[in-house]
Structure 1
Amino acid sequence: MARQAVIGLIGGMSWESSAEYYCIINREVRRRLGGVHSARSLMWSVDFGDIERLQHAGDWEGLAEAMRDAARRLERGGADFIVICTNTMHRLADAVTGAVSIPLLHIADPTAERIRAAGLRRVGLLGTAFTMEQDFYTSRLAGAYGLDVVIPYAQDRQAVHRIIYEELVAGVVKPASRLAYREVIARLVERGAQAVILGCTEIMLLVSAEDSAVPLFDTTTIHALAAVDRALAVGGRSASADVARA
């Protein structure tokens, strides 16, 4: 029997991207182990309606309690480590790690490692307004990994955020929104971005490599594959290096 650690997923933010995590993780485990193998995992999925309301109300303590509760449920269920299936809620990474005795696989870490491995330093960042404008994400990329992070102009940030919350979290993909993202990416490249981080787990539903003149680092795929690395304790070069999108 293949030995696997149990991946604990905090999902539902939104379930559209959480479903992508589940698919990517299980497909990769099957690819690596062969046959009909799949991942050992648990998911606690929140009601994103509640989360979105608290986010836009600025109630981060209420959100922290929701994340602590989710993490505790996963630990009690037998998870060996935790994956938060969203970039924005990594603002509360410390609340999660402080609530349980099992480790958290932070989404920014494998992403930054992939960027550095590619020999890149100046990167654009797309995400929710919280991720782009607050420092919990950019400071980790800069402080721990020496990356120079470029965020979109204010009007572009508003458009990126609106499309995420009004469309992508509901599974709505519009050609006009893809064009808008292409234009935002192009402006980041004009400002010297050597690559762009898709720093919201729903953005991969909208854009892909052909939408950008520079490499796109899809945090959903990178994070999910890093979870498989940890679950299987894979040695050597990660299979995630084969993902063309990043």
Structure 2
Amino acid sequence: MRTIGLIGGMSWESSAEYYRIINQRVRDQLGPLRSAQLLMYSVDFGPVEQAQHAGRWAHAALILEDAARRLQAGGAECVVLCTNTMHLVAPRIEAAVSIPFLHIADAAGQAAVEAGTLTVGLLGTAFTMEQDFLKARLAAQGLTVLVPDADERQAVHRIIYDELCVGVISDTSRQVYQRVIESLAARGAQAIVLGCTEIGLLIKPQHSELPLLDTTELHAQAAVAFALEN
């Protein structure tokens, strides 16, 4: 089994989900007492979040480059960045190490293509919905990517940072997301990419009229596939 390296902490609410999903998947595939070989370097989200909203992406990249190098030095055989938004600086993290970097959009895009879903709605932080670092990676796999309108994007973004990242799960906020999903469906979305690793804490399959592509789940599965690959 290869050793997985996780860069977590952004937020730790979703990083805990990565740990749970990866170990459950390994147990399911190898047996009841089996678990994953992994390392997690969990950063302090505060300075990263401040850099995000100040547009200081190069500063945030330095923090994550350092985390990736520490994982490699500790014996990790791949890097899994447990956040969608910080994939904005994925090329810098990938260049900082010599081990594979498993990109979150590749896992989501592959799942969409395999399901025959070519038009997807994307929910995430405003950075993810408005910039091209994730959308372009999905489009390169043959997908058409729709995002909510400006007011909806603002609401989705606020709920992520003010609630989900601090462990607050609200029925009222779930209803906001459901209305956004309905709007995307009316515009032609065939599935919804949960393009923030915390959204799956709020929106489950039973809450959506469209199939969900949960990037946390799919990214964690890709990490397990790498770890168990012969």
- Using the size of structure 2 for normalisation, the TM-score is 0.99
Which residue is equivalent to 2:144? 148
- 2:52 corresponds to which letter in structure 1? Q
Task: Indicate yes or no: 2:200 matched with 1:210.
Answer: no
Paired with 1:97 and 1:105, the residues of 2 have a C-alpha distance of 9
Q: Describe how 1:67-82 pairs up with structure 2 within 5 A.
A: 67-82=64-79
Once the two structures are TM-superposed, the CA of residue 45 in structure 1 deviates from its matched residue by 0.3
Residue number in structure 2 paired with 1:244: none
| CA–CA separation in structure 2 for the residues paired with 1:218 and 1:160 | 16
Between 1 and 2, higher relative CO (CA 8 Å, sep ≥ 6) is seen in 2
Matched, 1:201 2:161: no
In the alignment, structure 2 segments of 5+ residues that lack a partner are none
Q: How far 1:42 sits from its partner (Å)? A: 0.3
Matches within 5 A, 1:33-182: 33-143=30-140, 145-182=141-178
**Cα separation, 2, equivalents of 1:97 and 1:148:** 26
Amino acid at match of 1:82: V
> Counterparts of 2:32 and 2:152 in 1: how far apart (Å)?
46
**2:225 corresponds to 1:223:** no
Structure 1: which amino acid aligns with 2:127?
F
**Once the 2 structures are TM-superposed, how far is the Cα of residue 35 of structure 1 from its aligned partner?**
2.9
**Shift of the alpha carbon at 1:110?**
1.2
1:238 corresponding residue in structure 2: none
The ranges of structure 1 where at least 4 consecutive aligned residues each deviate by more than 4 angstroms after the TM superposition are none
> What's the CA shift for 1:214?
1.2
Aligned amino acid, residue 51 of structure 2: L
Give the % identical residues: 59
What's the secondary structure of 2:60's corresponding residue? Answer: helix
When the two structures are superposed, what TM-score results if normalisation uses the length of structure 1?
0.92
What amino acid does structure 2 have at the position aligned with 1:206?
A: L
- Name the CA distance, whole Å, in 1 between partners of 2:63 and 2:139: 28
Work out the CA distance in 2 between the residues paired with 1:97 and 1:14: 21
Q: Deviations over 1:53-94 (max 9, x none)?
A: 110011001011011100000000000000000001111110
Q: How many residues align?
A: 230
The 2-side partners of 1:53 and 1:35 are apart by 42
Bigger mean CA deviation after superposition, 208-217 or 175-184: 208-217
Residues in 2 aligned to 1:90 and 1:190: alpha-carbon distance in whole angstroms: 29
1:183 counterpart letter in structure 2: R
**Equivalents in 2 of 1:57, 1:214: separation in Å?**
34
Question: Once the 2 structures are TM-superposed, how far is the Cα of residue 120 of structure 1 from its aligned partner?
Answer: 1.0
The one-letter amino acid of 1:102's match is I
Does residue 10 of structure 2 align to residue 17 of structure 1?
A: no
Aligned partner letter, 2:25? E
Distance in 2 of aligned mates of 1:214 and 1:179: 15
For residues 22 and 162 of structure 2, what CA distance do their matches in structure 1 show? 27
SS at match of 2:192: strand
Q: Report the secondary structure of 2:10's partner residue.
A: coil
- CA RMSD in angstroms, aligned pairs only: 0.7
